[in-house]
């Protein structure tokens, strides 16, 4: 059993260290992760410059000046002379709830694993970035999910998006399956000035919760449960196909 571990916070982050240690009790773990924080990278691939892979001092840990998707793509598409059996991403420093998944590099790392044919789990600790105290809880949750997946394999097209309350493990109330909620639109951009007086901007915080009622991932973690959302990648709005067919009538004269 060989597990590829990646993330978007960078190979030095406490979350990926905890995850690597927890999964090492179940499998041979290889880490291939960005050299620095690439949160918000989504599914981007680096195509304009070559990718370089560096070995970290720890065994079986590699870092790449690239995106999470670059890392998983490299690791699963020929970097090694062996195949991985699963991809686990995280433990992210911060939640990936609702529409966060669209921007998330953590989820993107799992999505890339799934595109390349592997079972994939994305794990995120629901904490304010930088303040996460319980990455060991997140890593233990990941270990239990991987063990469960080994006992009870799932459809390989599923991606599991897991959000974990930032509490000691004994305070978790259990595991629940959820759907993604939605946020309000993002907060406004934050203007500032560079040292030469020119305007610069920071992307503002994610919007507040909008659709966060019972059954959603937001509600689940707010109540102290681990949220497990099965994701699919199918952007087609299937229900709109008949409407579109009639909408296009007459357009070609």
List interacting residues with Mn ion (CB under 5 A): 8-9, 39, 92
**What Cα–Cα distance (Å) separates residue 75 from each residue in 50, 71, 219?**
15, 6, 35
Residue closer to Mn ion, measured from CB, 9 or 136: 9
Residue closer to Mn ion, measured from CB, 16 or 226: 16
Q: Assess contact for 19 and 88: CB atoms under 8 A.
A: yes
Residue closer to Mn ion, measured from CB, 39 or 42: 39
Residue 138: CB minimum distance to Mn ion, A: 12
* Residues in contact with 9: Cβ distance below 8 Å, sequence separation at least 6, in sequence order: 15, 16, 34, 37, 38, 39, 92, 93, 106
Q: Assess contact for 122 and 161: CB atoms under 8 A.
A: yes
Residue 15: CB minimum distance to Mn ion, A: 8
Residue closer to Mn ion, measured from CB, 27 or 71: 71
18/95 Cα distance (integer angstroms):
17
179/177 Cα distance (integer angstroms):
7
Give the closest residue to 5 by CA, choosing from 92, 78, 65, 81. Answer: 92
Residue 120: CB minimum distance to Mn ion, A: 16
Residue closer to Mn ion, measured from CB, 13 or 229: 13
Query: Residue 240: phi, psi to the nearest 5?
Result: -90, -5
Residue closer to Mn ion, measured from CB, 109 or 145: 109
Residue nearest to Mn ion (CB): 39
Residue 8: CB minimum distance to Mn ion, A: 4
SS3 content of the chain, % helix, strand, coil (to 5): 30, 25, 45
Residue 246: CB minimum distance to Mn ion, A: 43
Sign of the CA dihedral with 52 first, then 202, 93, and 108 last = negative
Residue 106: CB minimum distance to Mn ion, A: 6
Residue closer to Mn ion, measured from CB, 27 or 92: 92
Mapped onto helix, strand or coil, the DSSP state of residue 63 is strand
Residue 184: CB minimum distance to Mn ion, A: 21
* Residues in contact with 22: Cβ distance below 8 Å, sequence separation at least 6, in sequence order: 136, 139, 140, 142, 143
């Amino acid at each position: 059993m060989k597990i590829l571990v990646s993330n978007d916070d960078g190979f030095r982050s406490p979350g990926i260290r905890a995850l690597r240690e927890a999964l090492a009790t179940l499998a041979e773990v290889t880490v291939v992760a960005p050299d620095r924080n690439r949160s918000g990278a989504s599914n981007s691939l680096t195509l304009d410059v070559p990718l370089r892979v560096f070995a970290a001092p720890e065994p079986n840990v590699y870092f790449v000046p690239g995106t999470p998707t670059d890392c998983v793509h490299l690791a699963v598409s020929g970097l090694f002379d062996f195949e991985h059996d699963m991809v686990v991403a995280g433990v992210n420093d911060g939640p990936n709830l609702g529409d966060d998944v669209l921007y998330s590099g953590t989820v993107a790392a799992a999505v890339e694993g799934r595109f390349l044919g592997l079972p994939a789990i994305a794990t995120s600790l629901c904490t304010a970035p930088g303040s996460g105290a319980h990455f060991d809880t997140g890593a233990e949750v990941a270990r239990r999910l991987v063990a469960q997946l080994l006992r009870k394999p799932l459809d390989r097209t599923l991606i599991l998006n897991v959000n974990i309350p930032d509490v000691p493990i004994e305070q978790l109330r259990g595991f629940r399956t959820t759907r993604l909620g939605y946020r309000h639109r993002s907060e406004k951009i934050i203007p500032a000035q560079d040292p030469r007086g020119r305007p610069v901007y920071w992307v503002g915080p994610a919007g507040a919760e909008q659709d966060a009622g019972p059954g959603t991932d937001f509600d689940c973690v707010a109540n102290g449960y681990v949220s497990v959302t099965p994701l699919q990648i199918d952007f087609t709005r299937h229900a709109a196909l008949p409407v579109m067919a009639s909408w296009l009538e007459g357009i070609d004269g």
